[in-house]
Amino acid sequence: MPMGERELIGLAGFAVLFALIALRLPVALAMVIVGVGGNWALSIAAPFLRFEPYLAQFKSLTWSVMSSYTLSVVPLFILMGYLAAHANLSRDLFQGLNALVGRLRGGVAMAAVMACAGFGAVCGSSLATASTMGRVALPELKRLRYDDGLATGTLAAGGTLGILIPPSVALVIYAIVVEASVVEMFQAAVVPGLLAVVLFVAVIAVRVWLDPGLARETPPLEAAARRVAVRRLLPVLAIFGAIVLGLGLGLFTPTPAAAVGVFAVLAYGVVLKARTGEGLGRREIGRAVRDTAVTGGMIYFVLFGAEVLKGFLARSGLPAALAEMAATGTADPWLILAAVLLVLILLGCFMDSLSMILVVVPFLFPVLVELNGGDWVTAAEAGYGMASEDLKIWFGVLALIVVELGLITPPVGLNVFVIRSVAPAVPMGTIFRGVLPFFTVELGRVALILALPGLALWLPRVL
């Protein structure tokens, strides 16, 4: 079915949006400009789509975005991440894990991967995780004369791990966009997230086994230093482990979990400051609150821009037209899904994960729903062999993996540039070569979840 004038205006709006983003305009502002400008163009092309009623919705749109209870978890998780960062819990994570596995050949790099996963889950930002863990772990890797490619590649790839391991802001936003259960998304992400950690550790183990020169033997820590490092690690694991287990088992909902996490990190940081002088004092708490306000404001502005853009796309009829074309076409649903994942990988090279979820997922997900058979299809009738509710969860896990995969995709991956800023003496080519084995196993993980959807759907079904 050919597109009409309204649908073509919607398509042109998308082209303008990506052009503005490519020109480095903030994503939220670009979405607002395209949403307002696109609706003005629609009012000219189709006078019955009046522009004034669209503008009138702005009186209530901001409040509806800000007052959502589901979204209240976002600033709490952000605050927990900043409190953890300012309390140096990233350092405690790395040093404690290093004390446990650092004696293995390649063990310090393995500890860095595990610490990236733990801190990334709390922080919620791959770029911030790569930057923070780069500053924490890279000096130790250099001191022990690890190969530059292995050290920097491990940290660039490790930064991508946190997006799937609960608690994750990106998972919350995705669940809101597709109207899925936040708790079920957290449950679905546990197995694929842990699988990524296992695969990354396996990559390091295999590389140093094949080429022992990449990681030299590490002298064991003194018993006293080892005890201190492990003792500092245990409270961190207890705090975050309780949150993950509580969410995974459905013992509490995300917002109370985030509130408890903030209180636990704050209490631990204050006690640590009183006992050792390192932790959360008045200055660190103030910086964490300020950073949370800045990041939270940015996220809410992006959410507001996404609502403005969504209104324009709905009035243009483009998502409905694409969904109808998918339902009446003869294209193989699996080929369309593969194309969607490829687009997400490519766009992930240029956009952060939150913007990707808000800009692209609302546009592409209705197409997959129609290819699957509709909103209420059963597993026996579905194009992907699963019910529509399962499709939301399964695609969410896949989408978040490939979005983060874009951050280490040559030759543009943003995480690589972050690590380069931490290690300016290491050539870009060396970092990309170090990332390549991790990139390969990530593609394998995507293929595995495509072939075995139960990896993502098993835990929500059991719980």
Place of tokens 């919620």: 124
Q: Are 130 and 115 in contact, with CB atoms under 8 Å apart?
A: no
Range of the domain at 76: 70-294
The answer to the question of residue 137 being in a domain is: yes
The Cα 122–Cα 115 span in angstroms is: 11
The answer to the question of residue 325 being in a domain is: no
- Of 164, 241, 214, 179, the residue nearest 392 (C-alpha): 179
Alpha helices in 249-332 (DSSP H): 254-276, 282-316, 318-328
The answer to the question of residue 348 being in a domain is: no
The answer to the question of residue 282 being in a domain is: yes
CA atoms within 13 Å, Cβ hemisphere of 117:
24
Q: What is the identity of the amino acid at 243? A: I
Q: What is the DSSP string of 385-447?
A: SS-HHHHHHHHHHHHHHHHHHGGG-TTT-HHHHHHHHH-TTS-HHHHHHHHHHHHHHHHHHHH
First to last CA, the chain: 43
- Of 439, 435, 353, the residue nearest 396 (C-alpha): 353
The Cα 284–Cα 86 span in angstroms is: 6
User: What are phi and psi for residue 321, nearest 5 degrees?
Assistant: -65, -40
- Of 113, 115, 53, the residue nearest 90 (C-alpha): 115
The Cα 359–Cα 346 span in angstroms is: 14
Q: How many CB atoms sit inside 10 A of residue 325's CB? A: 16
The answer to the question of residue 448 being in a domain is: no
pLDDT at residue number 1: 42
Give CA separation, 259 vs 182, 263, 264, in Å. Answer: 16, 6, 9
The Cα 54–Cα 57 span in angstroms is: 6
The Cα 13–Cα 189 span in angstroms is: 33
Contact residues for 387 (Cβ-Cβ < 8 A; gap 6+) = 377, 378, 379
pLDDT at residue number 382: 65
pLDDT at residue number 201: 92
The answer to the question of residue 114 being in a domain is: yes
The dihedral over CA atoms of 447, 451, 457, 458, expressed in degrees to the nearest 10, equals -110
Number of domain units in the chain: 1
The answer to the question of residue 57 being in a domain is: no
The answer to the question of residue 327 being in a domain is: no
Give 270-328 pLDDT, tens digit per residue.
Answer: 888 888 777 788 888 899 899 888 888 888 888 888 888 888 887 787 777 776 776 67
The Cα 230–Cα 186 span in angstroms is: 28
pTM for the structure as a whole:
0.84
Q: Are 446 and 403 in contact, with CB atoms under 8 Å apart?
A: no
One pLDDT digit (tens) per residue for the chain, 463 residues? 456 777 788 888 888 888 888 787 888 888 888 888 888 888 887 676 677 776 777 777 777 777 777 778 888 888 888 888 888 887 888 888 888 887 788 888 898 898 888 887 776 667 777 888 888 888 888 888 888 888 889 988 888 887 777 777 788 888 888 888 888 888 888 889 889 999 999 999 999 898 888 887 777 777 777 787 788 788 877 877 777 777 666 677 778 888 888 888 888 888 888 887 777 888 888 998 998 888 888 888 888 888 888 888 877 877 777 767 766 766 778 888 888 888 888 877 767 777 778 878 887 888 888 777 666 666 666 667 777 788 889 998 998 888 888 888 776 677 888 888 888 888 888 888 888 999 999 999 999 999 888 888 888 888 7
Give CA separation, 56 vs 32, 290, 301, in Å. Answer: 15, 33, 19
The Cα 89–Cα 38 span in angstroms is: 46
pLDDT at residue number 376: 67
Tokens standing for residue 309: 């853009």
pLDDT at residue number 250: 65
pLDDT at residue number 365: 83
The Cα 254–Cα 260 span in angstroms is: 10
